[in-house]
Amino acid sequence: MAENNIAKAQQLAEQIVENVEKVVVGKTEAVKLAVIALISQGHLLIEDTPGVGKTILARSLAKSINCTFKRIQFTPDMLPGDITGVTIYNQKTSDFEFRPGPIMAQVLLADEINRATPKVQSALLEAMGEKQITVDGVTRQMPSPFHVLATQNPIEFEGTFPLPEAQLDRFLLRINLGYPTSSEEIAIVENQQYVHPIEQISHVVDAADILMIQETVKEIFVDNVIKQYIVALVEATRQHPSVFLGSSPRGSLALFRTAQAKALLNGRDYVLPDDVKALAEPALAHRSLLSPGGQTAGRDSQAVIAEILETVPVPGTIPER
């Protein structure tokens, strides 16, 4: 029975990937990582320069899964209530009523999240961590599934604010898209000559399917040696000389769950060390803050994770002498 569930979940997940790729050209790995974050019950941060398709990736993923969808375009003058909603007095009923904000959706696109002030960014923390919001002392549950797709520009760009460490930690994965190749860019131009491809795709799954896939991901077997490997990688981020603040246990949980999701996407009911290695950078790099010395040396967190992958022994291999 479990094998049937895994086969069905894999088929549905592949359909989402294929549907999104009709819009997002030449970014198969990024699309797969976005789907992995979704079926792992986590949130996704897409960081890159403007115009490379961050918003389109988020919109096409949301459209593919037929869930309630809201978009917030973050600006420096936003207030927390613009996201969570507000309680107002209704003169007709002589009572206070809650007007929900755009956060009350199954899929939320937080566009250019780092253009808002840290106070506004923090309005998302409770929703992302506990799947609930508290407004005027009243706690309200988020819909299910609840998935945040956030885009951000590099911090060097004008009008951006760095995301707080606590909020970065709430994102399961962080991905980059990068510029397309010449042939991919020609395909993008041709695809949009008459109408944008996103207008021509429809949903391939619905909310019930997503919930089923998310539950099936939990059934993927993870051997004890794989768990030890995951923890060893995370511990290495805390001991690396170029890192000021290493990954929290959320990093271990992120690697564990996303490795299960990657195995499912590849049609397996068990996790391999290669699944963990492939997800280490998107799961741990944004959780590893460099020390001033590391920054001065011109290093970045991606390079640190790559070095850790080279030094931490992989299960089933013989360490080099």
296 falls in which pLDDT band (50, 70, 90)?
low
- Selection from 44, 48, 79, 41 nearest residue 58 by Cα: 44
Each residue of 254-268: pLDDT tens digit?
A: 999 999 999 999 999
Domains in the chain: boundaries: 2-219, 220-321
Q: 248: which DSSP letter?
A: -
Asked if residue 297 has pLDDT above 80, the reply is: no
Q: Read off the pLDDT of each residue in 57-77 and give the average, rounded to a whole number.
A: 89
Confidence class of residue 157 from pLDDT cuts 50, 70 and 90?
A: low
Task: Give 74's strand partners.
Answer: none
Mean pLDDT of the chain: 88
Closest among 317, 76, 55 to 196, alpha carbons compared = 55
236 CB neighbour count, 10 Å cutoff: 22
Q: What CATH topology corresponds to 220-321?
A: Helicase, Ruva Protein; domain 3 (1.10.8)
Fold match flag (2-219 vs 220-321): no
Q: Which two tokens stand for residue 189?
A: 């131009």
HSE-up of residue 34 (Cα within 13 Å, Cβ side): 35
Percent of the chain with pLDDT over 90: 45
Q: Considering only CA atoms, which of 43, 46, 300 is closest in space to residue 176?
A: 46
State how far the Cα of 145 lies from the Cα of 262, in Å rounded to an integer: 19
pLDDT tens column, 14-54: 999 999 999 998 899 999 999 999 999 999 998 888 788 88
Q: Domain 2-219: which CATH class? A: alpha beta
The pLDDT tens digits of the residues spanning 106-156 come to: 999 888 888 888 888 878 888 888 899 888 888 889 999 999 998 887 766
Pairing, β 132-135 against β 138-141: antiparallel
- The residue written with tokens 């799961």 in the block is 283
How large is the average pLDDT for residues 305-320? 80
